[in-house]
Amino acid sequence: MSDLTGELIDGRYQLLRQVANGGMATIYEALDTRLDRKVAVKIMHAHLAQDEAFVSRFIREAKAAAALTHPNIVAVQDQGWNQGGVPAVFLVMELIEGHTLREYLNERGRFEIKDAINYLTPILSALAAAHELGIVHRDIKPENILISKDGRIKIADFGLARGELIGTTMTAESSVILGSVSYLSPEQVQRGIADSRSDVYAAGIVAYEMFTGEKPFMGDSPIQIAYMHVNEEIPHLRSKRKEIPQSLDELIASATAKNPDDRPRTAGEFLARLQTIQIEIDPKKNQLDLGLDLPVEPIREKVRRKLKDEPVKETTVEIQETTREIKRTEEKKKRASKRVRRNRKVALVLAIALGIGGWWTLVGPGSRVVVPSTVGGSYDEAVSSFKPLGLTAVILENRFDEDIAKGRIIESVPPGGGKVDAGGSVKLIISKGPERYTIPSITGLTPKAAQAAISKYPLTVGTTTEVFNSEIPKGFVISTSPVSGSSVKRDTKINLIVSKGIEQVALPSYIGKSGEQALNELTGAGFNVESGYAFSETTPELAVISQTPAGGDTANKGAKVSILISKGPRYTFIPKTIITMEADAGKAMLESLGLKVKVVTIGNAKKKVVKKVSPAVNTKVLRGSLVTITVG
């Protein structure tokens, strides 16, 4: 891919220089012109940008890393397609200025046991955070472990990651090709599948290399190395280095077992066992577990019951009509009998009684008006319905009601269907709505004053809970439960939360321990950590030289804690491996040791290699000294 240095990507990222080039993408140091900060921009090679599978994988990398928030994982900040210039699919990450673990291994060879554990702790902590989210890295190797200039360890390149958050990944064949064969687990080589135990295997191989200074298997071809990982056991650490503790040897053997079921299930389990061994090596070591996030149980949707339509029963009524034949018979008129004359007298009396009753009810003193139902309506609606009947509305009472809205009628006297004298009145009970009271604001009051403020309402004071607080002084109310301003029912209990003042935290001593551990644990404990760096002839590199306040003291949570981290010895040695190295690589190696480099070129050779170095190799020199290399 052609060098895009100088291009402006997405109208925002100015590419400054090329810092790395791989088979899939090129990484540039760039300037975010919008926020005026330096970032790393990863741009997919143009020929791969035409392949939808590779583009999808590139986007998965962004989603995988963006889903993770951890101090030891390279943060992804943006992703997109360059629309206005050179066609490019890009990913924007935080810029880590420093070196890879591979460069440290090339320089040092094997690590001291305590130093190796200090490096492994943040690596496994980062992987544990990914495994908790169901994300598997799939490509752990020293080249993907970055160490910044200030000593921070970062895991990069989640390009082969997979998990529920990002979907599926590449095929078995492509994943084998893309991953580094020296760190691939047997199941990845054989079946192309990987889970958290595959990351544990790769981390175990990285640990093996840090403790011994060499890879477990070497071969003439990648296929030969992959065959060894599948068919041969990883050598024990103690076979290479006798001072390795037996428990540490067994842990690395377990992590690199051929059978995935014999390994720690996740990086979190690997880390826990490693920390136990670390305490055995150094009993004064104080471990602080920061992985306290618990998974939220998903809400399960309730199964909806289907309502079965009940069949409608139809009743058929048959009406039978009966027809009688009326036969006229001509009879002679007869004289009415005594019974007929008696019935006629009874009918006359009944007719007179009904007439008198009708007059009493409709016209006389017994006439009354039926009251229409007004429940649920408003007062104005009730007046409108009463007026045509000659009735008047009188408000008898305003009453709280949980079901009837404010201003609506709860009941009437007499109720709907009852009767009232013509021209009379109907008494109405109107709703004031649900009975609610607003909790007063009592923040900053003493508990006694808060109780007095609450007692002005038909509410009760519940429990009092004391908690630490950095803003409200000790002994004063922070808040209430339910919160102030809420509307609550009568007799609701109002619980008080009272300040215990600023929390005092005991400070452990981190002198001689990993600076990375001190930064993470102190930050996690709520302290404002300020770190500095200095040379030390007695304290190992990246370990803590001093801290203020000292270990054993107590300090306010959120207070400033200063730690001084070792940059290693003030002096270093000119490595003998620099002779015959390519000019740029040799210069970079010396600069990584903190030396200033002057390059003198001789001859006309196209490929420049280091011929001579001054001071000579194996010479002890002060960091910051000028070293001259002659290349040709």
Q: Provide the β-strand partners of residue 465.
A: 497
Indicate which residue of 115, 139, 157, 195 is catalytic: 139
Buried b / exposed e along 228-241 (16+ C-beta atoms within 10 A): bbeeeebebbbebe
Report how far residue 555's alpha carbon sits from residue 561's, in angstroms, rounded to the nearest whole number: 9
618 φ, ψ to 5°? 70, 5
- The 3 state secondary structure assigned to 302-313 is CCCCCCCCCCCC
| Cβ-based neighbours of 122, under 8 Å, separated by 6 or more | 71, 72, 153, 516, 517, 520
Give the residue among 512, 507, 503 at the shortest CA–CA distance from 522.
Answer: 507
Amino acid letter for position 545: I
Per DSSP, the chain holds a count of helices (H) and strands (E) of: 14, 29
Per the CB < 8 A criterion, the answer to whether 174 and 51 are in contact is no
Report how far residue 272's alpha carbon sits from residue 262's, in angstroms, rounded to the nearest whole number: 16
Integer Rg of the chain from CA: 44
For tokens 């040379």, what's the residue? Answer: 535
Angle of the 583-592 helix axis to the 101-108 helix axis, nearest 10? 90
Give the residue among 74, 70, 77, 76 at the shortest CA–CA distance from 129.
Answer: 70
Running DSSP on this structure, what letter comes out for residue 164? T
Give the residue among 588, 617, 624 at the shortest CA–CA distance from 102.
Answer: 588
Q: What pLDDT is attached to residue 517?
A: 92
Tell me if residue 139 is catalytic. Answer: yes
H/E segment holding residue 531: strand 528-534
| Cβ-based neighbours of 4, under 8 Å, separated by 6 or more | 15, 26, 28, 43, 86, 88
For tokens 């926020």, what's the residue? Answer: 35
Amino acid letter for position 473: P
Q: What are the per-10-residue average pLDDT scores of the chain (632 residues)?
A: 84 91 84 93 82 73 74 88 80 90 91 93 94 86 90 78 39 39 87 87 96 91 84 93 95 95 94 93 60 32 37 34 37 50 63 60 60 85 87 92 88 84 90 91 92 92 91 92 91 94 88 91 89 89 92 88 90 89 90 90 88 92 90 87
Per the CB < 8 A criterion, the answer to whether 555 and 549 are in contact is yes
Grouping H, G, I as helix, E, B as strand and the rest as coil, residue 486 is coil
pTM of the model: 0.46
Cα–chain-centroid distance for residue 167? 18
For tokens 């009524």, what's the residue? Answer: 317
Report how far residue 447's alpha carbon sits from residue 208's, in angstroms, rounded to the nearest whole number: 61
Q: What pLDDT is attached to residue 289?
A: 42
Which domains are present in the chain? 8-94 (3.30.200.20), 98-281 (1.10.510.10), 368-431 (3.30.10.20), 437-499 (3.30.10.20), 508-566 (3.30.10.20), 571-631 (3.30.10.20)
Q: What pLDDT is attached to residue 314?
A: 35
Amino acid letter for position 71: P
| Cβ-based neighbours of 524, under 8 Å, separated by 6 or more | 288, 290
Residue 482 preceded by cis peptide, ω within 30: yes
Grouping H, G, I as helix, E, B as strand and the rest as coil, residue 414 is coil
Note the residue count of the chain: 632
For tokens 């992590």, what's the residue? Answer: 255
